[in-house]
Amino acid sequence: MTENLRTPAGIGGREPLTLFDYSTQEGFFRSIELCNGSGVCRKLQGGAMCPSFRATMDEKDSTRGRANALRLALSGAPDPGGEVVRWRGGERETPLRHLTSAPPSGLRERWVHDVLDLCLMCKACKAECPSNVDMAKLKAEFLQAYYEDRTRPLGHWLVAHIHLLNRRSAWAAPLVNLMQILPPMRWLLEMIAGIDRRRSLPTLRSRHFRRWHGRRRTRNDKQGARRVLLLDDCFTTFNEPKVGKAAVRVLEAAGCAVELAGLPCCGRPLISKGFLKEARALVQAQAPALAKRLSDGTPLLGLEPSCLLTLVDEWPELSAGAETRHIAAAAELAESWLVKQVSAGACGLSLRPRPEKSVLHGHCHQKALVGVDGTAAALRLIPGLDVTVLDAGCCGMAGSFGFEKEHYELSVKIANLALLPALAAEPDAMVIAPGTSCRHQIHDLAHRRAMHPLEVLAEQLRT
């Protein structure tokens, strides 16, 4: 009974100061200890966990392997000198001091970074692990500690601050788009920022969504129209404004008065690279005004799952309080909210029939936190549309992951595990994907256009 324990007797975990709230799990170390070693993360079929393990078949690339690495990094035995000893591979290594304001040394080790590097932060483990180990959250916290006093790679800065880059570059979009396809520029981006030259880059739009919405006359602004806030995320706004325009058309056809949330950024890119201090400051700066706008029961609707669900999942844990809890409760994917309203008789949509086969690929964060049933139900409002929800796991793109030179090959390998074969099996089906990363991966590797669900609904409007 006392042999082969995961954490040896007398050894406890050092509890670091954290940016996320871990009170529900009773601390950061306990959050890691949720992993009971059952190995469900090693499954090869069904769901999305764990995409990198499915591609490499290496234990260190499983959720369990990463949890064990973090456990080893924080575990130690009391030392006679009042120190804590770090253990690696069963051997005692350099002593570590007791908890201080600085990150524990174990969270600053390169070998731990290497183990966590291939985590796509897809959140599948949060839903599919029997213990609900949230490795995406743990990795973000680790990256914050690891880079506390280190120089960040340029690629991290570019990704984390994409909301600023997009907004400041939009006025010169034609020039930016030309520059980013030139071979010398792609070579330079690969050399200095690690962005793989084989990957196409998102097109920037000068006539972006916020500009379009600000210049048009809003429909349904008369008294009695249902007011909704639409989260104009950075990707929809500056890269795919057609998705935002389609959403406004559909919501207005359903009798809604659409206002834009107007947030500088949800913080998703910052969180993905472990810029948690900046992300927390961003949340704290935006939450009070946004919560006030939602105080009368107005729903907050989103188009990009990763952005909308950041407000649901991360905001309350970065800045706990009534305001972020209220925002999280009001936030919902636009198509899921819409189908509920139609089903309840609160609004209606007049849609033309579309006797066609379609396949729906859900975003990983969506599948983990809210599911894809709402999106599928919204699409089935279209008469004659045959909707098949793919059980194809992760697309492998995962935000910036698939753009990075050191991850490109793995990104392609993950896509080839299930998603690309599933699409190849349905060559004539319309492809639908709510996530911008998923649509980008499908475009690059399957050479097919994937539509957002709101685009499909907008095309079938009778008005």
Q: Regarding predicted confidence, which is higher, 15 or 101?
A: 15
Does 224 score more than 80 pLDDT? no
pLDDT for the residue numbered 78: 34
pLDDT for the residue numbered 10: 52
Does 272 score more than 60 pLDDT? yes
Structure tokens at 386: 């045959």
Among 13-17, 62-66, 154-158, 400-404, the minimum mean pLDDT is found in 13-17
Number of H helices, E strands in the chain: 25, 12
pLDDT for the residue numbered 274: 96
Question: Once rounded to an integer, what is the mean pLDDT over residues 21-47?
Answer: 91
Among 22-31, 160-169, 315-324, 395-404, the minimum mean pLDDT is found in 22-31
Residues 431 and 361: beta-carbon distance below 8 Å: yes
Confidence of residue 147 (pLDDT cuts 50, 70, 90): very high
**Residue extent(s) of CATH 1.10.1060 domains in the chain:** 12-146
Among 70-84, 248-262, 269-283, 303-317, the minimum mean pLDDT is found in 70-84
- Give the helix/strand (H/E) hosting 369: helix 364-369
Q: How many CB atoms lie within 10 A of CB 26?
A: 12
Question: Once rounded to an integer, what is the mean pLDDT over residues 206-234?
Answer: 85
Q: Regarding predicted confidence, which is higher, 391 or 10?
A: 391
- The mean pLDDT value of the chain amounts to 90
Question: Once rounded to an integer, what is the mean pLDDT over residues 386-390?
Answer: 97
Task: Report the topology of domain 12-146.
Answer: Fumarate Reductase Iron-sulfur Protein; Chain B, domain 2 (1.10.1060)
CATH no. for 349-459? 3.40.50
Determine what percent of the chain is predicted with pLDDT higher than 70: 89
**Model-level pTM?**
0.90
- Quick: pLDDT tens for 341-370: 999 999 989 999 999 999 999 999 999 999
Residues 18 and 30: their CA atoms lie apart, in Å, by: 13
Q: What is the CA radius of gyration of the chain?
A: 23
Question: Once rounded to an integer, what is the mean pLDDT over residues 120-124?
Answer: 96
For domain 209-341, give its CATH number from 3.40.50, 3.30.200, 3.30.420, 3.30.70.
3.40.50
Does 338 score more than 90 pLDDT? yes
Confidence of residue 100 (pLDDT cuts 50, 70, 90): very low
Question: Once rounded to an integer, what is the mean pLDDT over residues 448-454?
Answer: 98
Determine what percent of the chain is predicted with pLDDT higher than 90: 82
Q: Regarding predicted confidence, which is higher, 14 or 107?
A: 107
Q: What is the DSSP string of 268-318?
A: HHHHHTT-HHHHHHHHHHHHHHHHHHTTTS--EEESSHHHHHHHHHTHHHH
**Residue extent(s) of CATH 3.40.50 domains in the chain:** 209-341, 349-459
Residues 453 and 335: beta-carbon distance below 8 Å: yes
Task: Pick the closest to residue 351 from 377, 380, 386, 374 (CA basis).
Answer: 380
Task: Pick the closest to residue 398 from 153, 124, 46, 40 (CA basis).
Answer: 124
Question: Once rounded to an integer, what is the mean pLDDT over residues 135-161?
Answer: 94
- Quick: pLDDT tens for 53-99: 999 999 999 999 999 999 888 874 333 333 333 333 333 343 333 33
Helices 241-253 + 334-343 axis angle, to 10 = 10
pLDDT for the residue numbered 95: 38
